[in-house]
Amino acid sequence: MDLVWICIIVGLVGAAVVAYFVRYVLRQDEGSVRLKEISGAIKEGGLAFIHREYRTLAIVVVVVAIILAVVPALGWRIAVAFIFGALCSMGAGYAGMNMALRTNGRTCAAAQKSLNQGLRVSFRGGAVMGLTVVSIGIIGLSILYLVWHDDPNFLFIIPAYGTGASLVALFARVGGGIFTKGADAGSDLVGKVEAGIPEDDPRNAAVIADNVGDNVGDVCGMGADLFESYVETVVAAMTLTTVGVILAPWVKEVLFPTLSPEVALQRAWWLPLLIMAAGIVASVIGCFLVRVGEKVEMSALLGALRRGTLSATILAAVFGFLVIHFLGASLGLFWAMLAGLVAGALMGESTNYFTSYAFKPTREISEASTTGGGATIIRGFATGLMSTWPPIVLIALAIIVAYKFGSFYGVALAAVGMLSTLGVTLATDAYGPIADNAGGIATQAALPPEVRERTDALDSLGNTTAATGKGFAIGAAALNSLGLILAFAMAAGIVTVSGTGKLNPLPPELSLLSTPVIVGLLLGGLIPPIFCAMTMKAVGITTAAIIDEVRRQWREIKGLMEGTARPEYGKCVDIATRIALKQMLLPSIMTIIAPVIVGVVLGKYALAGFLIGALATGFILAITLNNAGGAWDNAKKWIESGQFGGKGSEAHKAAVIGDTTGDPMKDTAGPSLNIMLKLMSVISLMLAPVLMHFGGLI
């Protein structure tokens, strides 16, 4: 039997668990009429955004697919795989967000009963997202495999699937990120700062847009991001096994020393899929282990989530070992996989250390806030820069270990290991914005203060898991991107590997110090900062438009400030949607076109340098922006907890500036970089059959 059927079955099991969680959540109480009204407005706004975003996306996807279909070296199969990947990604994001929109209000209602019930509902809502992403991912890949693995172009078809997913993810992250932070900052500045009314006050026309933003940015964007990472790690590992259409000799020698070449190739393709399947089983078990007793302290909550992810990690390692053993692969591959798994877990912890106010770095930012906004920014930015070292060192170590035990395939397998437990990691991550939204709804519905306290506790925990999840997402992106770059280099014929898994002597053009590579490196290193500049500026434009609109409503709608009239929430949602969709185009299209231009004009060697250069600066920038942003957020929370004068003090004002600065960094620019790096790499891989013929003009 083709063992890939096991993956289909595991994917269906994942889907069944999703159905169980969906049923559980939907059976929960929706709360009062007012509560239903508010969550209904959020749902309406979120779905309106996503429908318009997907319409824009559909045009881009169809245009790209037509281009792919007509280029002779590519063809219709590639176009079909590309569309399939785009549809899977859209489906995963849509399903996750749709569920989150239905869980928000129910979490709020559940928190009226108890903290524990609030946790259960919100976590299961998040778990739907996590398990949907991995189930769709593995089923999609398995279908591609079963349909086309005998096709001689199979290894050029699967990158197209990844590219489709990547393209959707980039638009979702960038568009959603601009929307969410533009609405958030606009709402805060015009409400809290200018008018002096509380956060989430229903008189503020931008509050619904702010709540919608959490869903379209943090849920839908994050889901599409990690769906992409998930499928592309498998793509990279599969692609690295062959030279053209035949098995690379080193794969047999090094990875499957006891098998025949035909069997070895089949197993090399099965291996990443089956490790992912093992990870899904581990994740499902992990999800069910998240439960707390009657104790409702923070530490118990955190312990519950940690138990889930840690158990899943250990189980994934054990199952992964069994897969490697039974497929007759070299046991070295287990160490490669384990290196990725461990590095991923530690990177999450490092992010937590640098961004949680339980630790020194963030508390120092709070302290610096006592000397003003400038000091807050400098200290936070310094923390962000400093926080780059653990992830980079961990990734470097993972690469060294993985390469030693499994050559390039090992590096790709480390990424597979890292992402195998995505189901449960993503569940803990998606739960955060649900709790955040529940808090917003509680305030707008004027529920008793203890409800908001409970949702705040859930939200605060969500910040910790979100930080861990973000660290993990960046690391996965970096390792995955590297795997794709290696796959591109092999597919374009610019590196070859000897029978022992080492690199063969090279064409001089690929030297680190050849002009095409150096020029490519410099230009590639330029793309992430420009991309960040564009997206951060776009947030500013959205913010300004939202502020204008809220001011206009206060001026023109009589009785709004007195609470006798309702603001037009839909207007703000509409404005944020329109601007976000417009502003996402330029940076996204730059990402798609840049590697193609470099590949065609400067040649394939420069393109390899370009991708590595982008990885080097993009990785550093992504960590810096994410962690500085997270640290500023929590430094403000630390002051709000009563330190350094507490809320309303001068230190608090300075910390708020830090928080406002950090928002577009950590929720728009930073996470989009992950996708940008992967998208540029996978586009290059997909176009390798074309680009291999371009030697370049320099």
Q: How many CA atoms within 13 Å lie on the side-chain side of 246? A: 3
**CA separation, residue 215 to residues 33, 104, 237, 683 (Å):** 22, 10, 32, 28
CB 520 within 8 A of CB 273: no
Residues 6+ apart with CB under 8 A from 29: 106, 109, 110
311 vs 542 by CB, closer to its own copies: 542
Q: Closest approach of Cβ 554 to its own copies, in Å?
A: 16
Residue 669 amino acid letter: A
Q: How many CA atoms within 13 Å lie on the side-chain side of 228? A: 40
Spatial distance between the Cα atoms of 378 and 651, rounded to a whole number of angstroms: 14
Q: Closest approach of Cβ 65 to its own copies, in Å?
A: 30
Count of beta carbons in the 10 Å neighbourhood of residue 150: 7
112 vs 388 by CB, closer to its own copies: 388
Q: Which two tokens stand for residue 438?
A: 């529940």
Q: For residue 497, what are the β-bridge partners?
A: 503
Q: Closest approach of Cβ 179 to its own copies, in Å?
A: 16
**For 327-388, where are the alpha helices, taking DSSP H only?**
332-355, 360-368, 373-386
Compute the C-alpha angle 666/574/446, nearest 5°: 75
322 vs 593 by CB, closer to its own copies: 593
281 vs 683 by CB, closer to its own copies: 683
Instruction: Tell me whether residue 20 is exposed, middle or buried, using C-beta atoms within 10 angstroms of its C-beta: 0 to 12, 13 to 18, 19 or more.
Output: middle
SS3 at position 243: strand
Q: Which two tokens stand for residue 54?
A: 């997907």
E strand or H helix that includes residue 246: strand 246-247
Query: What's the alpha-carbon Rg for the chain, to the nearest Å?
Result: 24
Cα–chain center distance at 154: 27
The dihedral formed by the CA atoms of 59, 65, 69 and 75, expressed in degrees to the nearest 10: -170
Q: Closest approach of Cβ 650 to its own copies, in Å?
A: 10
170 vs 539 by CB, closer to its own copies: 539
Q: Closest approach of Cβ 393 to its own copies, in Å?
A: 7
Spatial distance between the Cα atoms of 627 and 632, rounded to a whole number of angstroms: 8
Q: Closest approach of Cβ 286 to its own copies, in Å?
A: 30
Q: Closest approach of Cβ 656 to its own copies, in Å?
A: 8
Spatial distance between the Cα atoms of 578 and 552, rounded to a whole number of angstroms: 18
Encode 43-63: b = buried (16+ Cβ within 10 Å), e = exposed: bbbbbbbbebbbeebeebbee
**Residue 243 main-chain phi, psi, to 5 deg:** -115, 115
295 vs 502 by CB, closer to its own copies: 502
447 vs 482 by CB, closer to its own copies: 482
19 vs 522 by CB, closer to its own copies: 522
437 vs 542 by CB, closer to its own copies: 542
143 vs 243 by CB, closer to its own copies: 243
Spatial distance between the Cα atoms of 508 and 584, rounded to a whole number of angstroms: 39
378 vs 692 by CB, closer to its own copies: 378
**Residue 517 main-chain phi, psi, to 5 deg:** -65, -45
Spatial distance between the Cα atoms of 44 and 25, rounded to a whole number of angstroms: 19
Spatial distance between the Cα atoms of 157 and 159, rounded to a whole number of angstroms: 6
**Residue 560 main-chain phi, psi, to 5 deg:** -70, -50
Q: Closest approach of Cβ 64 to its own copies, in Å?
A: 26
Q: Closest approach of Cβ 309 to its own copies, in Å?
A: 26
105 vs 373 by CB, closer to its own copies: 373
CB 352 within 8 A of CB 390: no
Q: Closest approach of Cβ 166 to its own copies, in Å?
A: 21
240 vs 686 by CB, closer to its own copies: 240
Q: Closest approach of Cβ 504 to its own copies, in Å?
A: 6
Residues 6+ apart with CB under 8 A from 140: 84, 85, 88, 161, 231
Spatial distance between the Cα atoms of 335 and 327, rounded to a whole number of angstroms: 15
Q: Closest approach of Cβ 444 to its own copies, in Å?
A: 24
Spatial distance between the Cα atoms of 188 and 654, rounded to a whole number of angstroms: 15
60 vs 386 by CB, closer to its own copies: 386
Q: Closest approach of Cβ 525 to its own copies, in Å?
A: 4
Q: Closest approach of Cβ 332 to its own copies, in Å?
A: 15
Spatial distance between the Cα atoms of 368 and 584, rounded to a whole number of angstroms: 35
381 vs 694 by CB, closer to its own copies: 381
Residue 380 amino acid letter: G
Spatial distance between the Cα atoms of 648 and 651, rounded to a whole number of angstroms: 8
Signed CA dihedral, 248, 251, 257, 261: sign only = negative
Q: Closest approach of Cβ 603 to its own copies, in Å?
A: 12
Q: Closest approach of Cβ 624 to its own copies, in Å?
A: 6
261 vs 372 by CB, closer to its own copies: 372
CB 471 within 8 A of CB 392: no
81 vs 189 by CB, closer to its own copies: 189
Q: Closest approach of Cβ 510 to its own copies, in Å?
A: 5
